[in-house]
Structure 1
Amino acid sequence: MKIRCFLIILLSFTFPIAALAEENLANVEKLDAISDDAFQMVKNQRYEDAQKLLSNFSREFEQMYDGNIPFTLDELRIVSVSRDEAMEAAASPTMEYQERLNKVTSFRLVIDALSTSSEPLWSEMEDEVMGAFGMAKKAAVKGEASQYHANLNSFLALYELIYPSMKIDVPKEQLQQVDARVRSVERLHTTLPASQNDLEEFEVLESSLQDIFEGIEEDEADPSLWWVIISTGSIIILTLSYVGWRKYQGDKEVTRKRRGLKD
């Protein structure tokens, strides 16, 4: 009877944790769907519809503050900034179409990075990002100024597009190092690399970017799922330990009584 009560108490802690993780996942998936719809509206130049969707996103996002928010403070800041930029893009009467689309695309990638534990959308832009950078480096080596400038500017635009979502998935120190190298290369966007050191900087940055894309390909379980696994596993271990201890105590009692009968 005591064992049964003990198990019921332990399981009563397990199910709320699992339920909370499931609820958080559902909320994030809802935000992800809204961000995708907003992106589609801007893509099709339906800006008023995009504004309505982004307002709905803000309401849903703010409601999550009333419960357990599955985001870190850094993630909250990234979402808030990218959302504000997307809302500005949808509402602006003068912003060019491509700039609107870039801002909403960046927002879309951020929300996807939060809702996806592996292979986020931004990582699927590897070919475009690395391709533009590789062609810029090749043109720099050959001294082809126009090709160099065009491809480097393309790379920088793509990098700015995915940078906010990279901050969700890439370790902070690693991304800071890469970003510092990007800023170093950025100063050369109007002139060809003037020294061997400049060309070596391109080589280092290319390798660092490749490390990021290769690292993100590793499948990682959602943190909330790991919490459920760890919590549930701990409870199972505790339960088995308690059952084993009770059995040990019972065996000791039986042995003691048998000795008493013999005496």
Structure 2
Amino acid sequence: MKLKSVIFSLFIFLLVAPLSIHASQESAIDKLELISDEALQMVKSSRYEDAKKLLDYFSEQFLTYTMDDRPFSMDELRIVTVAHNDAVEATTDANMSHNERVNRVTKFRLVMDAITSSHQPMWTEMEGPILTVFGGLKEAAVNGDNEDFHSKLNSFLSMYDVIYPSLKLDIAADRIQKLDARINFIDHYRPRVLTEASSQKELEILESDLKNIFDEMTEDDADPSLWWVIISTGSIIIVTLSYVGWRKYKGDKEIEKAKQRSSKLKN
């Protein structure tokens, strides 16, 4: 019984200890992400001064976190810093429209989620709106509808700008460069895209690239840490059952030998 208790205790420790360590490591960065979300809610409610205070508090906490743990690469630090500065400006610039303020702080919120998420970051939720607008953009180009084309392209560029910093955190640099090249071509050569079939192919390629990126980021619904727990737990159970089975087999053998010795003594 004591041996079984030891095995059970070891099983619980191996299962819970890594999760506890993981939770303590995440607590600080999770707090930063929560502050970014609260700042966004404040801006959505037009409480710009309160949002500014939260963003200032974020800056203090972020500095402490990075100095203590140094968990980010230089690129990640730069992206977070730029997004944070843009968000702060959105809370203080009285000439900025409410929608632009919301977009800037949303951009910052998505960056913090991309930093902390190991799968399906929040920016992937923009797939539907972005691809819908892009579909309208393609249709306007094919129909030669100049006004609708410019309107849809501007809408697409605005939404893409919101998720762009997060893309740079999650997508390989060479793929981002290809996206940039195609988007810049479409934006810079708008008249050609409206009138030339060869230039409109860039729209098809860009749409395909965007779909592939969204699909790759959403295809795995399971948190990798969950798979680790499943595999680890399964291995422990198998080892435990095997050991218990071996002990039972050995015990049965001992009982059988005892019976044989007893039988011989009687004879």
Q: TM-score range by the shorter chain?
A: 0.7 to 0.9
Cross-structure match for 2:42: 41
Counterpart residue identity of residue 58, structure 2: F
* Unaligned residue ranges in structure 1 (runs of 5+): none
Higher relative contact order (Cα pairs below 8 Å, separated by 6+ residues): 1
Q: CA deviation at 1:160?
A: 1.5
Cross-structure match for 2:186: 188
* Alignment TM-score, normalising by the size of structure 1: 0.75
Counterpart residue identity of residue 157, structure 2: L
Cross-structure match for 1:125: 126
Structure 2 distance, partners of 1:253, 1:82, is 71
What secondary structure is seen at the aligned counterpart in 1 of 2:12?
helix
Q: Deviations over 1:11-34 (max 9, x none)?
A: 223222233344566655544432
Indicate whether 1:9 and 2:10 are aligned.
Answer: yes
Task: Note closer, same or farther for the CA distance 1:40–1:2 as it changes in structure 2 (3 Å cut).
Answer: closer
Q: CA deviation at 1:53?
A: 0.8
Contact 2:182 2:206 in 1 (8 A): no
Paired residues for 1:141-180 under 5 Å: 141-167=142-168, 172-173=171-172, 176-177=174-175, 180=178
Q: CA deviation at 1:176?
A: 4.7
Cross-structure match for 2:238: 237
Task: Note closer, same or farther for the CA distance 1:8–1:14 as it changes in structure 2 (3 Å cut).
Answer: same
Contact 1:21 1:228 in 2 (8 A): no
* Alignment TM-score, normalising by the size of structure 2: 0.74
Structure 1 distance, partners of 2:243, 2:73, is 39
Q: CA deviation at 1:149?
A: 2.6
Structure 2 distance, partners of 1:15, 1:176, is 40
* Unaligned residue ranges in structure 2 (runs of 5+): none
Q: Deviations over 1:33-92 (max 9, x none)?
A: 3222211333344333222212333444456569989x7758954545433432344356
Task: Note closer, same or farther for the CA distance 1:160–1:254 as it changes in structure 2 (3 Å cut).
Answer: same
Among the aligned pairs, what percent are the same residue?
A: 41
Structure 1 distance, partners of 2:92, 2:240, is 57
